[in-house]
Structures are given as structure tokens and as C-alpha cells.
Structure 1
């Protein structure tokens, strides 16, 4: 059996006619930048998330940059986040000249541990960036309480979690600004790079709209130092089609995850994903923990089962962050999880037969 990790080809076949017609329409209109499809997408994203304002942008990394730029994160500022995430979370903080300050993760959810945040707050701290790792929001009640107490802003890195919820609210509407990515392999992916920022604050929304257009207030008049951060019309047209089917895809992802969990729950050599009762996950990944990861990955590879490791090295140990002065042992939970984590094929179309085959080979 040969199994596809993300199954993008199958998804395209499902929606092929609508997607290809949408692409053709953009090509015929030749309105490739900020066409009508962009505004249509942003309106649909607002309706889907219940966030008052959705601003599309070029990718999930630029979404984080836009959020921090809108909140005036500057050189010398400190931003608290997790070391167990994709590098973009902390890379963007450093890119703006601010300092990433890491806090270890909760061993069950793998999200930032809110009980360890306050001890890292200093007069230089300006914001907290929790990451909704693998599709599940962090403990936003505690994080919001800490932020309010210390007058800090909160940016949710929701690159993996579009459509997830916390206490019934999507994580796109939980913070001062939330971000997401539409990278092709994300739960809602386009056919290239794409992203979005969400806020309930009109001033922040307008500022981010300006920042993504080089800080323009009107054509060739620039209020801010900005960036070229637009989402192109073609990607917007693709997302307009896929968003219509996204609730169904989310439900199927949850169903696949549930089947994995049921099939694996009695295997003592595996730590299964944990989803807090306050949350629903977008299930960007189905990630288990095992002691013999390298050996197991090789065994699965030979059986035609692809796996991935998200992520093999926590950020505080990455070469680019040596200047921060962290060392091995500083964030022990992140380090242990990084050594044991392994993602199984996850998409809405994993079949029962494939799940059975994968789980048998995990024995």
C-alpha cells in the first residue's frame, strides 16, 4: 500500500472543475493583484470566523510580521513565545529587531504553558504569541488574563489551526490579532503561498491593510514603512472555492483523528494527541510520541507509509538563535517532545483501510 501524507492531488480532483474555472476567470479578467476575488475572500473569512476584520496577505510569515508591525513591536522590545514551533514564529520577532523570549510547553497539548509565562515578563515585554500547535488553540483564558494584568498584546499564531475553536469561539477571533497560513498543506490551503490576519479592532485592521501595501494611505502616499504583502487574486479565487467545503473537510479531519485514536489507544508504546475539552482542533497534524522514532520511521517508510517530524529541534537550540544564550536543558519538555514526536498521514481523505494498515505497522 502506498499512502499519501497530505493527499492534495485527491482534493484537487474533488473540486477540480470549480477551482479551474475560478483560475480561468482570473486569467481572462487579467486583474491579478487586488482583484474582486480578494475582497470576496476577506468577507467570507469574516463570516466563517466571526472576526470583525479579515485581511488577506502573502503568507503566514508575513501575517505575523503585519501583526507585530501593527502593534509597533520595535527593536529592544521582548515578545514571549514557545520554542516548540516552526521557526517563523520567532524569526519574525527577531526580524523586527525585537527579542524572542521562550517559555516551555505543556506536556499534554504541546502549546505554551501559561503557568510559566509571568516569570518571563519584564518592563521590555510588549506581547505574547501563543501558537495553536497541530491545530489546537492554547489556554487562551489564562493567557488573556496574564496579558490584561500586565498590559500586553496577544497575537495568536494560528498557522495550523484555521477553523479550530476555544470555548466555542474560533481562534481567529480570540486575540488582539490572530494569524493564519494558507500554505498548500495546511488544513485550508491555496495553490502557493497565502495567509491572513484577523482582528476585532478597526484601527488595527486598517493599519494592516495599509502595511501590506507598502504603508500606503492612498496611491503613492505612504503613512507607514510597510511591505509588499498582498495575497494575489488567483490564490484568493482558489480559496473562495475551497472555503465553501472547508467545514466538511474539518469534520472529516476530526473523524480521521478519532479513528486513529481508537485504533491506537491500547498501544502502550505510543503517546496519543491530547485535545483539551475547551477546544476543538483543526487537526493540521496527527502527531504521536514514540521512543524509537528513527527506527519506526524507517520501518514505516519501507511499508509505504510517509511520516514527518514537526519539529526535530526546538528553536532555542537552533544555530540562528545562539545569540539569545539558551542552552540544552533550558526547556526540557520542548526538548523531550522534539526527540519523540512523529506525525502520521493526516488529511480528510485517509481511508479506514489506510488507518488500519498504518496502525498495524505501528505495533
Structure 2
């Protein structure tokens, strides 16, 4: 049996006619940049996030970068974030001419540990970027309390967590702003790149709109240095078709995650550590990520059996060569370094059949029975 990490073909087939009709409308309109589809998506995603403003941009990485600049973060500032995340989080801070400050994670959730934040704050600290990794929100109540104490901006990196909730609040309404990615593999994915900033801060939203069009307002008048980073109409049209299905897809992901968890726990009795959903959280399982012994050998074994897996992420950001000048050493952030050696993500998507899940589970059990 061959099992992919993600199969987008079935999803496309189920809405092919809707998507093609929308794309034909865009092509016929000849309006391809910042048109009605982008406006509708911005409005709908903002409302979904319980905030007033959405700003569509070129991709999720730009969303973080532009949100930081729009919030006034720049040269000489420090921005605290998790070391255990995709490179875009740290890269966006550096591209905003600020200095990334990496802290360790809560080993039970893989998210930034709020208890490590205050020790990392200096007179130069301007913002915190909590990353809602794998689809579960970081501890926003604790993070907000610390941010308020030190008057810090909070930008939620929600690239993997659209639709996630915490104590009845959704991603986007708990920080100064939040950023989404619409990369094709995301829970709400386009058929190319795309991203969005959502916020209740009118000034930040307006700044972001200006920055995404070369810092121009009015046209051809440039008071700030911006970028060419706009969500295009074709991608927005596709996302407008897909967006009404998001809640259904999130529920399906949760069902599949629960099936994995129940069966792996029953059959392996704690040999692997299944994801922990913190009380009050609504996890949307962008990834279903285990902690496992002999991770690399297990990955090879599953590949031989036709099962795709992924390691998110093999090198924490504080150990990346590009950030070597920051002065971190191996052992500085031990929980993240340990997670980088143990984390393994299994196939996860809303259409994943139980037959395939059973095969994945059986092969994991088989591997450890041979140890």
C-alpha cells in the first residue's frame, strides 16, 4: 500500500466544477490583482478570526514580515519566538531588520514555553511571535499577560492553525495580529502561494495594505519602503470556494487524529508519545506528530512499507548556520533539540481512509515489536 503525507487530488475532484467556474469568472473579468475575490476573502477570514481587518499578501512568510513592519518593528528591536518552527518565522524577523531571540518549547505541545519568556526580555524587546505549531494554539493567556506587562506586540504565527481555538477564542483575536499561510498543503490551501494578516488594529491593517504595494499611498507616492506582495485574484477565488468547507475539514482531521491516538496508545502502551491537546484547546491537526524512539530507523522502515512521513523540524532555528552570529550553542534550548530528534509526522488529511490509517498503525506496531 502506498500512503502519501497529503493527497490533494480527492479534495480537488470533489469541488472541481465550483473551482473551474470561479476561475472562469476571474479570467473573463480580466481583474487579476486586488479585485473582488481578494476583498471577499479578506472580509470572510477576518470575520472567521473575530477581528475587523484582513490584508491578503503574497505568502505566509511575507505575512509575518509585513505584520512586524506594520507594527513598527525594525532595526535595533528584538523579537522573541520559538526555536522549534519553520524557518519563515525567524527569517521574517531578520528580514524586518530586527534580531530574533529564540526560546525553548513546552515539551508536551511543541509550542513556545511562556515560562521562558520573561528571562529573554530586554530593553530592546519589541514583540513576541508565538507559533501555533501543528494546529494547536500556544498558551495565549500567559503570553498576553507577559506582553501586556512589558508593552509588547504579539504577532500570532498561525500558518498551521487556521480555525484553532483556545477557551472559546479563535486564532487572530488574542494577539495584536495573526498571520496565515495558504500554501497548498495548509488546512486551507490555495493552488499556489498566498497569505493573510488579520487584526483588530486599524492602523496596523492600513500600514500593511500600504507596505504590500511598495509602500505606495496614494499610487506612485512612496513614504515607506514596502514590497510587492499581494494575494492574487485567482488564488483568492480558489480559496473562496474552499473556505466554506474548512470547519468540516477541521472536524475530519480531529476524527482521524483521535483514531491514530486511540489505536497507537492501545497497541503500543506508551512506547510512542501521541499528541496532547491541552484543556481548552481545539486542535486542528495540520500535522499529526508523534515523539518516537529510534525515529530515523522508524522513518526508513515506514518508507520501505510505502508510508510517507515527515520530520518537522530536524534543526531548531537557534542551531541554523544562518543564525550562528547570534551566539547560541548546542544544549542551550534542550527541549527543542530533543524534539528535533524525536518528532515524526504521520499522513494526515481530511479524506484519509481508516484502511490506510490501520496500515500505518500496524506498521508502526510491527516496527517496535521487532526491537
- Counterpart CA distance in 1 for 2:302 and 2:351 is 19
Tell me which of 331, 334, 337 is aligned to 2:333. 331
Aligned equivalent of 1:319: 321
Aligned equivalent of 1:6: 6
Q: CA deviation at 1:271?
A: 0.7
The answer to whether residue 253 in structure 2 is matched with residue 253 in structure 1 is yes
Q: CA deviation at 1:220?
A: 1.3
**Of 240-249 and 18-27, the range deviating more from structure 2:** 18-27
Aligned equivalent of 2:137: 137
- Counterpart CA distance in 2 for 1:304 and 1:250 is 26
3-state secondary structure, aligned to 2:34: coil
Matches within 5 A, 1:1-363: 1-266=1-266, 267=268, 268-363=270-365
Unaligned runs of 5+ in 1: none
Structure 1 stretches of 4+ with a deviation exceeding 2 A read: none
TM normalised by structure 1 equals: 0.98
- Counterpart CA distance in 1 for 2:296 and 2:325 is 30
Unaligned runs of 5+ in 2: 366-371
Q: CA deviation at 1:47?
A: 2.4
- Counterpart CA distance in 2 for 1:165 and 1:209 is 27
- Counterpart CA distance in 2 for 1:54 and 1:97 is 24
Deviations 1:153-203 (A, max 9, x none): 100000100110111111122100100100000010000000100101111
- Counterpart CA distance in 2 for 1:206 and 1:280 is 31
- Counterpart CA distance in 2 for 1:206 and 1:7 is 37
